[in-house]
Chains A and B, each alone.
Chain A
């Protein structure tokens, strides 16, 4: 039994943690919140120098040629630091989409720049306040020209290239769009977590090319989502751990009725529950990581389980951390807000928990019928 990350992977994790503890303390996250910045450019370039963005990208496309396991340990640290960087959009979504489904030419052109962090990519699927599905997409590609809008698009203001889920005459498709053209216009939108910029992007006959075959976009999209779900689940686990640690520290420091509030079972059992949910999530995520790295046949099941468990762990830790803090936890000056915002943002970024539970049971039904 060897159900753990390797020593090298743990060293990488330590390295990223030390970098983020040094350069990305919570004050740096607050600086993004309290300014009109949409990301922390210095952290992004620091990560690029560490080379972590290219971990899972093959060497012939400028990456390190390692695996998604390395991305998992990086993700956990980014989540712990609530890092204001477009890593998930650019790496888990755009680079992974290209690695999996891009043509040789597309990979040659885009992956080295994404790996080096020279450009930022994103994946655009939603078109407003309802979840996208194969039937309700209005964004449309025809003859290499894309029209419609996407909202919200994570890191849409900073992205150089977008992979867009759109409709075509053959059905749902994925289109690759260079965002430097005038026919693609990004505008800022307000979200619950301004430490991660989001945009609306309007395409007015923008030049676009297909990724993979027309009509196969939905299947490719769900595969990209499944991989991203595992990686993002590690961010959620890192965030849940940080929120729990924050609650624990406060419960030790704060006195009420003559003693530490952490000595009351109402408080300590709440924190124990955070721990239980966190460990359930971590264990599901380890399995998700293993299946993703091996391209296992049950990726859909493992990814959904990782995401469901991690979303729940972070939701609970983030919201109950505020409760442990009491009134101060509801203030702007206190730090629990960062996790409250980020937990909900990540919990919706790839679609709601209900959607993933439905996906999970569908996959289990298929597996159960097959066996």
Chain B
């Protein structure tokens, strides 16, 4: 039992490391916890685009993809090794994860050869950015309950409706979308899947202002947007099957939260004086610190177990499904507790005054969203209990009833 690389892994790591050293700067540990990035989005996008192109040129942009589509034809463990090494370097990110993590894998599975030749490489090289158009105001956890309509008109489809929570829609070039093409059949059977040009006439994009005040997502309105039938992925009425390909990749694409963790809380407790004495000596503080440490380590070593399976060429076990269930509430609660240690000053949300550039306050807000994005805590518990533990699905009233006869609420 050890954490060592195999010989092959070690040599791949060395290769990746020397490429990164030649092409990027190591992170400055003193700036490691800088709060929100202050560069404007357009500038960050330019940096990310340049880095993406460099990475793709070297073959590291999609390590597990086949070589014919610009990948390296490598293994999952190599992909993990690359990410581990890249994490030591100051490289831009945040624009390509959804496209390359979810949209293009869906294209690779369902698009025609000609379409793959046209779209995969430009996405890989960062020339075109993709977004995912699934969630709707009335279809979140129950995404198959979506309402956006697609109607056939000659060689085209005409799309009307609204999508929400679309990251990056305003700078994206293409999107994948699931629509309702037949409301008279049960809901999973009346869906059809397309990819489309985000600059098509009839698409209107508005930012969603979040409780943080930031706007990282959009709502996207479709008014008589025409999409050629050739851009349909999968058969008419089989959009759910295609959507599952995308959703399977979602949990892989949604990254671990970064930010304040038990180390930062330990430091804060050291620096804080309570009425009863130093916070670090307070038994309530110590119990919390211990609990979060144990959770953090538990997740870390669970990941190591997953990596061990990958390293041996096996499928990771179901234990990898616990990550977000644990880390979401932990992020939120740990940040909230850090604010409590700051006393009445915990309400300050000010990069100058609040410790660590207001990282506790930022994460307290962010944690509320993280517990919902990419599968709520509750949906994830359903997944664990049904898919890992084999417990039965809830009784469903919506599986056999035609979509247009289902109660919909407001």
- Give A contacts to B, CB under 8 Å: 1-6, 69, 248, 251-252, 259-260, 262-265, 267-269, 271-273, 275-276, 279-284, 286-287, 289-290, 293, 304-305, 308-309, 312, 354, 356-358, 360-361, 364-365, 368
Contacts and interface: CB of A to CB of B under 8 A. Distances in A.
A292 to B, nearest CB: 10
A283 B302 CA distance: 5
Contacts of A305: 293-294, 297-298
Contacts of B304: 1, 3, 283, 286
B289 A361 contact: yes
B290 A276 contact: no
5 contacts: A264-B394, A272-B388, A279-B302, A279-B322, A283-B300
Interface string B291-318: 1011101111110110110110000000
Residue in B298, B319, B322, B395 with the greatest tally of chain A CB atoms within 10 Å = B298
B382 interface: yes
Contacts of A6: 1
Contacts of B263: 368
B295 A280 contact: yes
Contacts of A357: 286-287, 289-291
A358 B291 contact: no
Residue in A1, A263, A267, A287 with the greatest tally of chain B CB atoms within 10 Å = A1
Given A1-B77, A259-B392, A284-B301, 6 more contacts: A1-B311, A262-B391, A263-B392, A268-B386, A272-B381, A308-B294
Contacts of B300: 283
Nearest to A269: B381
A284 B381 contact: no
A20 B317 CA distance: 26
B10 to A, nearest CB: 11
Contact of A360 (B9, B290, B390): B290
Residue in B286, B307, B308 with the greatest tally of chain A CB atoms within 10 Å = B286
A194 B297 CA distance: 35
Nearest to B303: A283
**Pairs A-B, 8 closest by C-beta atoms:** A280-B298, A357-B290, A283-B301, A268-B385, A263-B392, A262-B391, A272-B384, A272-B381
Contact of B1 (A262, A289, A309): A289
A6 B311 CA distance: 14
B263 to A, nearest CB: 8
Nearest to A279: B319
Contacts of A364: 266, 289, 293
B283 A354 contact: yes
Contact of A265 (B9, B287, B310, B378): B378
Contacts of B289: 357, 361, 364
A164 B2 CA distance: 35
Contacts of A1: 3-5, 9, 77, 304, 307-308, 310-311
Contacts of A281: 298
Contact of A280 (B2, B3, B287, B326): B326
A283 B319 contact: yes
Contacts, number: 159
Contact of A263 (B301, B305, B319, B395): B395
Given A279-B302, A280-B322, A293 B1 contact: yes
B386 A276 contact: no
Interface of B: 1-6, 9, 77, 263, 266, 280, 283, 286-287, 289-291, 293-295, 297-302, 304-305, 307-308, 310-311, 319, 322, 325-326, 378, 381-382, 384-386, 388-395
A46 B261 CA distance: 47
Contacts of B2: 2-3, 290
Contacts of A283: 297-302, 304-305, 319
Contacts of A260: 392
A274 to B, nearest CB: 9
Contact of B391 (A252, A284, A293, A360): A252
Given A1-B3, A3-B1, A265-B378, A354 B287 contact: yes
Contacts of A4: 1, 305, 308
Contacts of B395: 259, 263
B321 to A, nearest CB: 9
Given A3-B301, A268-B381, A283-B304, A263 B290 contact: no
B142 to A, nearest CB: 14
B322 A268 contact: no
A284 B384 contact: no
Contacts of B382: 265, 268-269, 272
Contact of B394 (A2, A263, A273, A286): A263
B322 A275 contact: yes
A248 B394 contact: no
B286 A358 contact: yes
A275 B286 CA distance: 26
Contacts of B297: 283-284, 287, 305
A123 B182 CA distance: 72
